[in-house]
Amino acid sequence: MSVSDSPTQPIQRKPEWLRTHLNTTDSFRDLKSLMRSKRLNTVCEEARCPNMHECWGDYRTATFMILGDTCTRRCRFCAVKTGLPGAVDWGEPERVAESVAQMQLRHVVITMVNRDDLKDGGAAVLAATVRATHRLAPDCSVEVLSSDLMGDRQSIRILSESRPEIMSHNIETSRRLTRQVRSRSDYDRSLAFLRIAKELDPETVVKSSMMLGLGETRDEVLQSMDDLLANGATVMNLGQYLQPSKTHIPVQKYWTPAEFAELKQRALEKGFAHCESAPLVRSSYHAGEQYETYRRRIHPLYGSDSSALSG
């Protein structure tokens, strides 16, 4: 049964636990001004993230989105605009790194639009951004949230050789729903990206995320956990899918906070070193704190004297 054929009725009203509050603080305004002055995009704005005011206002963090604001894929869950992207801006990596240094971040997430129009999928620009950030902000750990780069091993190698602390790519949904939800994407290709990333750099942290509420079953979520573990992922995020507009896939179910808590427990029991699981969790939600917790758990000597990260 497809998502569109589901017999469940469209859910008109969000439950109380999904309500967020605006927080237009000085930090929020300063960060927005910085992004505009550097001509940078954030996935926070483009994907209409419900946590933007919290992250920008309380934590002074953001997820940079590079390679433009136009994606070559048209996934049915995503609010980022699609079409033919513009030319590659090779000055962008330096501007992102300058912003990270100016903000004095201790952890940064750098993501990208899909660039299937480029031979390497955009890997070289993403790698250049990682290297520039390590050079200008040497105390900042870098997490990349990459496209699948079409599963090309050489493209993944280009990114891996820039040595980000976390290599992340999202499977987004269960195997059964992938073709209905994700444009030009493949569940096994996503798993291959994670596996290759771990093979190329065994020291990197491999991470992935899923949205719940698209019609997946609990058993399918548990199977996806097993698939991720078998392909090198040790960190996982689970969050509630929220329909960006009426043209996107409707929500089939609002998973409760208790259900998310139970899935987190199962993830840890299965062997994940860390799992964020709650309705408003997104790929980069509290990513700095998540990385710090991971380091303390996996490398206690390395992490024991580390100060708290922004995230």
What are 165-193's pLDDT values in tens digits?
999 999 999 999 999 999 889 999 999 99
pLDDT tens figures, 203-227: 999 999 999 999 999 999 999 999 9
Instruction: Report how far residue 130's alpha carbon sits from residue 60's, in angstroms, rounded to the nearest whole number.
Output: 20
Percent residues over pLDDT 90 in the chain: 58
In terms of average pLDDT, the best of 67-71, 206-210, 242-246, 290-294 is: 206-210
Model confidence over 91-105: pLDDT tens digits? 999 999 998 898 888
pLDDT at 294 over 80: no
**What is the topology classification, in CATH, of domain 20-298?**
TIM Barrel (3.20.20)
Alpha helices in the chain (DSSP H): 26-37, 43-46, 52-54, 92-103, 123-136, 153-160, 178-181, 187-200, 218-230, 257-270, 287-298, 300-303
Indicate the pLDDT class of residue 24, thresholds 50, 70 and 90.
low
Q: Look at residue 125 in the predicted model and tell me its pLDDT.
A: 98
What mean pLDDT is predicted for residues 301-308?
42
pLDDT at 257 exceeding the cut of 80? yes
Q: What is the C-alpha to C-alpha distance for residues 296 and 293, in angstroms, rounded to an integer?
A: 5
Burial category of 197 from C-beta neighbours within 10 Å (exposed 0-12, middle 13-18, buried 19 and up):
buried
Average pLDDT value over all residues in the chain: 83
Q: Specify the pLDDT at position 54.
A: 53
> Is 50 exceeded by the pLDDT of residue 4?
no
Answer whether residue 43 shows pLDDT above 60. Answer: no
pLDDT at 309 over 50: no
Q: What is the pTM of this model?
A: 0.81
